[in-house]
Amino acid sequence: MDYFPSFVLDESEAAPQEEAAALTHDFPADDEALLDAYSKSVTRIVEDVGPSVVRLDVKRGDGRSGGSGSGVIVSPDGLILTNSHVVGGARRASVTTLDGRNLSGRVLGDDPDTDLALVRVDENVTLPAARLGDSKRLKPGEIAVAIGNPLGFDSTVTAGVISALGRSLRSNNGRMIDDVIQTDAALNPGNSGGPLVASNGAVIGVNTAIIAGAQGICFAVAANTARFVLGELVAHGRVRRAYLGVGASTIVLPRRIALRLGLEQTTGAVISQVEKDGPADHAGLLTGDIVLAVDGAPVASAGDLLRLLGADKINQVAPLDILRRSDRRRFWAALRERV
């Protein structure tokens, strides 16, 4: 875009012209193209995923209203992922779709440890479903779009980027949620339980929380954790998992140490908290230890650690490969079922 007329200006005339151009907010052509591409990307994401986002109105056992939130349809027959704190222990929820349909739903399962819950629509209908992406492939700086349906008949949208991966967040029951995505895509009231979506249209997380007083810091439970919880809730109505008694987050391994020890993985799960008298405490694990493997299976993230502590590990003594300072060590933990 040309800022000046075609005739030549001397230096005294050019400066006022430049100021005037700045005041009109003209952008170079390449900047306009980038802004246009970003806008189109966000618009396409909303068009693709928006119809899969629903409003949930929770019904208590006594018939009274129990609040509301958002959810995302993850299968055409009416499976809906949302937050545990949205359903709040209720058995029933009213579901409002983007096109205005009012459906009834029942809570199939609730997992406060990950702040996730699963609702199934009662009616025999086919609904637009979003697809769960692979949150393990995400990188900080990628586009993230948070979508909610707090009022029904409409979607609310905020866009930003992924700020950090593998965070830990304390849930409402006091336990740590691992494998959490941090984003600056602000959560509007009622957006809890809605999807966090990548630029390819895949759901990469379920929006769960915002830090009060910390502008622009929001969190979503990663899609890989959501997929694991979804499978457990469908199969068992609850998530059976082995209890280790730690809080963890993903960390990059020091390259020098990884090369010296011959490690193929570049990341692990660093222990941020050890619960007193838990299996990890009895095994001798400490805050700052990095979990590299559980029973021989590599641990590259906090999400890997969560998934490897499945029902098959309950009442088992499992070997844990740990990086402590610069040494690889093995500890044995007597795992039990988390209740």
- The CATH number assigned to the domain holding 170 equals 2.40.10.10
In a domain, 25, yes or no: no
The pLDDT value given to residue 105: 94
pTM of the model: 0.73
The pLDDT value given to residue 6: 36
CA–CA distance from 264 to each of 100, 185, 296 (Å)?
51, 34, 13
Using the 3D structure, point to which of 71, 93, 121 is the last residue of a domain. Answer: 121
Decide if 182 contacts 167 (C-beta within 8 A): yes
Same domain, 289 and 224: no
Same domain, 208 and 178: yes
CA distance 13 to 94: 67
Residue 196 sits in which domain range? 135-233
In a domain, 297, yes or no: yes
Of 52, 84, 168, 192, catalytic: 192
Same domain, 208 and 285: no
Same domain, 154 and 86: no
Q: How many domains does the chain have?
A: 3
In a domain, 21, yes or no: no
- Beta carbons within 8 Å of 60's beta carbon, 6+ residues apart: 66, 90
**Among this protein's residues, is 282 annotated catalytic?**
no
Q: Compute the half-sphere exposure of residue 339: CA atoms within 13 Å on the CB side of its CA.
A: 3
The pLDDT value given to residue 30: 64
Same domain, 212 and 280: no
In a domain, 26, yes or no: no
In a domain, 217, yes or no: yes
Same domain, 222 and 246: no
In a domain, 211, yes or no: yes
In a domain, 2, yes or no: no
Same domain, 200 and 256: no
Per-residue pLDDT tens digits of the chain, which is 339 residues long = 433 333 333 444 444 444 444 444 555 556 666 667 778 888 999 999 999 999 999 877 666 667 789 999 999 999 999 999 999 888 999 999 998 899 999 999 999 888 999 999 999 999 999 999 999 899 999 999 999 988 766 788 999 999 998 887 877 766 678 789 999 988 877 788 999 999 999 999 999 876 655 556 789 999 999 998 999 999 888 888 898 999 888 899 999 999 999 998 999 999 999 999 999 999 999 999 999 999 999 999 888 898 888 888 999 999 999 999 999 999 999 999 877
Q: How is residue 188 annotated by DSSP?
A: P
Sign for the pseudo-dihedral over CA of 219, 222, 226, 228: negative
The pLDDT value given to residue 333: 96
In a domain, 60, yes or no: yes
Same domain, 63 and 97: yes
The pLDDT value given to residue 67: 78
Same domain, 166 and 85: no
**Among this protein's residues, is 192 annotated catalytic?**
yes
Using the 3D structure, point to which of 197, 213, 233 is the last residue of a domain. Answer: 233
The pLDDT value given to residue 17: 46
Q: In CATH, what number is assigned to the domain containing residue 331?
A: 2.30.42.10
The pLDDT value given to residue 173: 66
Same domain, 163 and 194: yes
The pLDDT value given to residue 155: 80
Of 52, 57, 84, 85, catalytic: 85
Using the 3D structure, point to which of 180, 212, 233 is the last residue of a domain. Answer: 233
